[in-house]
Amino acid sequence: MRTPIVTRRAILGTGLALAASLPAIHVLARQAKQRFAIALHGGSLKSPEKFGAEEAKKIEASLGEALSLGLKLLEAGGASLDAVERVIRLLEDDPLFNAGRGAVFNSAGGHELDASIMDGKNLACGAVAAVRTVKNPISLARQVMEQTRHVLLVADGAEKFADERRVERVENSWFDTEKARAEWEAVKTATEGKQSSFHGGMDEHYGTVGCVALDSHGNLAAGTSTGGLTNKKYGRVGDSPIIGAGTYADNASCAVSCTGIGEEYIRRAVAYDLSARITYRKQPLKEAVAEVLQRLPPGAGGIIAVDARGTIVLDFSTGGMSRAAADASGYREVKLGR
């Protein structure tokens, strides 16, 4: 008996409807497998126990707030580059950290700020160094990346570019904090008449803030911002604005932000070295970070990194590192000590 034409059409229609639904099923499957991860730091610490309980709570609360901000953006499908910039802006505005508002004093009694940002999708990057009136150096660094053909602008040139881009400006004294001034005066007194040395220096807290992120589109990004080292020579630039030293991001490997004695990170191209170990030696992220830290002098600082799979590593050779991290699995951590 032949199947009536209407039945064949119904069967055909059902098949077409099922086929039409398959792409949606595939989309849902891809969404279920999407990953994102974020990590941030507020600087490495020689002795976390020297923080009073109240100050430690404030630092942890600030780190948690910054983490939640970045996490919310990534959960909504936002870009890792935006998450990195917004997190660092928040930390720059917080006087608890040596970046932006709480930047340390240089030897001349002022503040010079450095920052860099990098997009792992295309290796685009931008940085500024020794800026004096830019409220949020990380955002000016992104402007360098997106609005110029350059990577790094410094001092007066960076300030002029800030004029052109009409970014928010403040008086240099806006970055002052009583804590940073007290540390500067203590370092000046202790080193008076002596040749300055960054390694084994007086800094209890190697400031710097940084953030690395992997978004649900598979793109990595990294950024770092700092006021440098207390009583640093006027015009000194550390690793934070140096792409490949203190900051690096490549979708093929990882995103990195460093904190510590910048000169040591510059000498060893630490951020790029970490990326290269993953790219060329196929090292797991945790192993690569551990080996890179071992190449640095004892107590030089710390590293935060996330790879293309969403693996997060937070490691340091100092007594502690103020840090926070979270990912799509529900993992969340905020810590200062080991």
Torsions phi, psi for 175 (to 5 deg): -80, -10
Q: Are 201 and 92 within one domain?
A: yes
Q: Are 9 and 101 within one domain?
A: no
- Residue 144 belongs to domain with CATH number: 3.60.20.30
Q: Are 7 and 154 within one domain?
A: no
Task: Print the domain residue range for 282.
Answer: 34-335
Pick from 6, 224, 230: nearest CA to 112: 230
Q: Are 152 and 21 within one domain?
A: no
Q: Are 6 and 71 within one domain?
A: no
Beta bridge partners of 313: 305
Residue of 296 and 196 predicted with greater confidence: 296
Q: Give the chain's domain count.
A: 2
**Structure confidence at residue 193 (pLDDT):** 62
The pairing of strands 247-249 and 209-214 is: unpaired
Q: Are 142 and 27 within one domain?
A: no
Q: Is the pLDDT of residue 227 over 90?
A: yes
**Structure confidence at residue 205 (pLDDT):** 54
Mean pLDDT of the chain: 88
Helix H or strand E encompassing 178: helix 178-191
Q: Are 24 and 51 within one domain?
A: no
Residue of 18 and 306 predicted with greater confidence: 306
Give every CB contact of residue 96 below 8 A, 6+ residues apart in sequence. 42, 55, 58, 59, 62, 102
pLDDT tens, residue by residue, 263-274: 999 999 999 999
pLDDT band at 4 (very low <50, low <70, confident <90, very high): very low
Q: Tell if the pTM clears 0.85, that is, is over it.
A: yes
Report whether 122 contacts 218 (CB < 8 A).
no
Q: Are 2 and 87 within one domain?
A: no
Burial 13-23 (b: 16+ CB within 10 A, else e): eeeeeeeeeee
Helix H or strand E encompassing 162: helix 155-165
Report whether 88 contacts 115 (CB < 8 A).
yes
Pick from 36, 94, 124: nearest CA to 325: 36
Q: Are 40 and 13 within one domain?
A: no
Q: Are 5 and 64 within one domain?
A: no
Catalytic residue of the set 3, 14, 148, 208: 208
Q: Are 172 and 29 within one domain?
A: no
Q: Are 165 and 67 within one domain?
A: yes
Average pLDDT over residues 37-45: 95
Q: Answer yes or no: 208 catalytic.
A: yes
